[in-house]
Structure 1
Amino acid sequence: MSARVAAVDVGTNSVRLLVAEAAQPLLVVEREMRITRLGKGVDANGRLDDQALERTLACIDDYAERWQDLGAERVRVTATSAIRDASDRDRFFAAVRERTGVEAEVLSGQEEGCTAFVGATSLVEGEPPYLVLDIGGGSTEFILGDREPDAMTSRQLGCVRLSERALCSDPPTVGEVTEARALVDAELDAVEALFDATSARTLIGVAGTTTTIAALALDLPAYLPERIHGSRVSAERVRSITDELCRLSTAARAELGPMAPGREDVIHAGALILDRVVDRFRFPGVLVSEADILDGLVLGLLNEAPLRLCD
């Protein structure tokens, strides 16, 4: 049997596990996702919420049992925006070490983006150069490149952060949606100042916001990764789904078949980010990849090679 490894991505909104073996393509043994909202309140308070932290640690406990049962030989646990921004992040690291024996790491925005690029471009076919868009809960990564990432930026605005800052009503008011779009546009101004995103021929979208929008575009009765991966959503469909999500209440969004429990109160914020990126950089649509930062982490473990960071 090939070497079996496991990676855990601890995000602002969700915690995900991937156990895999080396193969072409990557042989996925198990892939799991649970929404724990670790980043609740971090944007406003700069500290981890006690209940959110315990939910996240309980999830990691369950994942540790799974990677042990499945015989993973090497494990990597990484955290992103919420832990980067929390002043009391050491509570998280100490608890993971005590409960699993694994030294968790915090990825910089650059490491997060470049790892996502490696994962996203490994399993989809599109015309390069690519702009990989990773809409997270606390941050959004923009990574431009061909076979390797050439330029990237991590912006401090994800679906949880945008929802907490601007979309307070349920459903949001027209004024709140307008404010949210303005916040996104300000971040896109910063992206434009760093590199030319319009030089990309293909926009690849990863992570739960984009994959859920793809599921809605496909009218799927449930979240079906095998149907979602490699699908394309036109710019017009992104806009119409975004507008509809903003009109619906949280309860109504929760009733949509592909909606993961816990995503319904922030999916409209993530959709606004995707819609503004597609419109601002004049993409005809988005190519959707189920492979992302987790796949990049696993590939790094299997190759035992350090990731080349963007210059």
Structure 2
Amino acid sequence: MKRKNDTNVLIEFGSNTAKVYSCSALKSTDACFYRLPLRLASQLNSSQMLSEKGIKSILDTIADVKQRFTNNDQIRLIGTEALRRAKNSAAVQQRIAEQFGLNLRILSWQEEAEAAYRGVLGTAGASGRIICFDIGGSSTEIIQGKDKKIERSKSFPVGAVDLSRKFIRKQPLTQCMYTALNMELERKLVWKNNLQLKLLGSGGAVYTCAMVALMHAGKSESEALKEIDGSTLRRSEIIRQEQSYRALTLEQIRQIPGMDPSRVDIILPAVMIIRRIMENTREYSFIVSTRGVWQGIMFANR
């Protein structure tokens, strides 16, 4: 039986960050979260085995969360692309079960896409026929649907962390690095769209781009935080940010108002993914959603 003091807790182990969400077991409102930049995608070796350092970061995160919440609280664990790729993911799941008595559910890309779509439906403007995209560290999902029904979806093997590791050796980038990154996106991220549909974006990279845009427009941080969900980003702003990040050092990017310090080295490939999606969908703007996979999983039955 759920009690008013009980809490639902969800830890989402993504390719870039671990996200910890909690909310009342009886209400879906007033959810809170924090993020930890584990960079699991960077802990996969050439054989696609997750390193001991990467595994330890997962175990340490779970241990920390269990200390913060009581035995009455329900803790759920999910993993996405980095753990889908890891050939030793079963061993990771076993260690978690033995140490904490918890089950790590590794989502298929279809489950992740469905959860992302279901999550963004609570965003203002997310009605009728829409296309939504969710950018991660190792993959990007694009989903088309009408209201609550998904019509088609696809997972692309391009993410901000992986692209940064593969193509960016220094910043500012050389023209050769930039061209190679662009060619990779043109080759791997192709979404044919014959309809003009409402476009929504979610994920940490989208959130960061929106914060930078709002503060560049003169908003204070507190004002930007209030306005970000449901705000609109235009393609011209994405191109402005892309050109800016291309020309700056990492330290200069870090100083940009609204920038997430944990995304400084991956923000350029992230905005290039966004720009590529907007070109593919022939859209000149998109709606920013601060929602996503976690809402789709945590509130699936509400």
Same-fold call, TM cutoff 0.5:
yes
Structure 2 CA distance for aligned equivalents of residues 144 and 22 of structure 1: 31
Deviates more, 1:223-232 or 1:289-298: 223-232
How big is the shift at 1:97?
2.0
Deviations 1:275-296 (A, max 9, x none): 1111232112121111100111
Task: Please show how residues 54-133 of structure 1 align to structure 2 within 5 Å.
Answer: 54-68=56-70, 71-72=72-73, 74-126=74-126, 128-133=128-133
Report the Cα offset of residue 263 of structure 1.
1.3
User: 1:22 deviation in Å?
Assistant: 7.0
Question: Which of 204, 208, 212 is the equivalent residue of 2:208?
Answer: 212
Q: Tell me, in whole angstroms, the C-alpha distance in 1 between the residues paired with 2:220 and 2:68.
A: 28
Displacement, 1:8?
1.5
Residue equivalent to 1:291: 291
Seen in structure 2, the aligned counterparts of structure 1 residues 23 and 268 have a Cα distance that, compared at 3 Å, is farther
Match of 2:152 in 1: 151
| Structure 2 residue identity aligned to 1:152 | S
- After superposition, the C-alpha distances for 1:53-105 in whole angstroms (9 at most, x for unaligned) are 32232222222333437x53x33211011111111213321232234321001
CA 227–187 in structure 1, closer or farther in 2 if over 3 Å, else same:
same
Q: Give the conservation status (yes or no) of the 8 Å contact 2:43–2:53.
A: no
Where in structure 1 are there 5+ consecutive unaligned residues?
304-311
Scaled by the length of structure 2, the TM-score of the pair is 0.89
Amino acid at match of 2:30: V
Equivalent in the alignment of 1:230: 230
Separation in structure 1 between the aligned mates of residue 26 and residue 283 of structure 2, nearest angstrom: 32
Stretches of structure 2 that go unaligned for 5 or more consecutive residues are none
Q: CA deviation at 1:41?
A: 4.7
Identity of aligned residues (%): 22
Q: RMSD value over aligned CA atoms?
A: 2.3
C-alpha separation in 2, matches of 1:164 and 1:261: 17
SS in 2 for 1:27: coil
| C-alpha deviation, 1:127, in angstroms | 5.0
In structure 2, the partner of 1:280 is 280
- Secondary structure at 1:218's aligned position in 2? helix
User: For residues 221 and 265 of structure 1, do their structure 2 counterparts lie closer, same or farther at Cα, with a shift above 3 Å needed?
Assistant: farther
Q: How does 1:240-259 map to 2 (within 5 A)?
A: 240-259=240-259
How many Å separate the matches in 2 of 1:172 and 1:115?
35
Task: Report the secondary structure of 2:169's partner residue.
Answer: coil
Residue 178 of structure 1, CA deviation: 1.6
Given that residues 113 and 142 in structure 2 are in contact (C-alpha distance below 8 angstroms), is that contact kept between their aligned partners in structure 1? yes
What is the Cα deviation at residue 145 of structure 1? Answer: 0.3
Name whichever of 245-254 and 145-154 sits farther off. 245-254
Cα distance change on mapping 1:171 and 1:90 into 2, 3 Å: farther
- SS of alignment partner, residue 256 of structure 1: coil
- Greater shift, 178-187 or 230-239, is seen at 178-187
Q: Which residue of 1 aligns with 2:183?
A: 182
The number of aligned residues is: 294
Match of 1:153, SS?
A: strand
Q: Distance in 2 between matches of 1:221 and 1:44?
A: 43
Please report how far the alpha carbon of residue 2 of structure 1 lies from its aligned counterpart in structure 2 after TM superposition.
8.7
Pair 1:5-2:8 in alignment: yes
Asked whether the 8 Å contact 1:40–1:49 carries over to 2, the reply is no
For the structure 1 residues 249 and 91, does the alpha-carbon distance in structure 2 shift closer, same or farther, using more than 3 Å as the test?
Answer: farther
- Which residue in the other structure is 2:173 paired with? 172
The 3 A distance-change label for structure 1 pair 39 and 212 is same
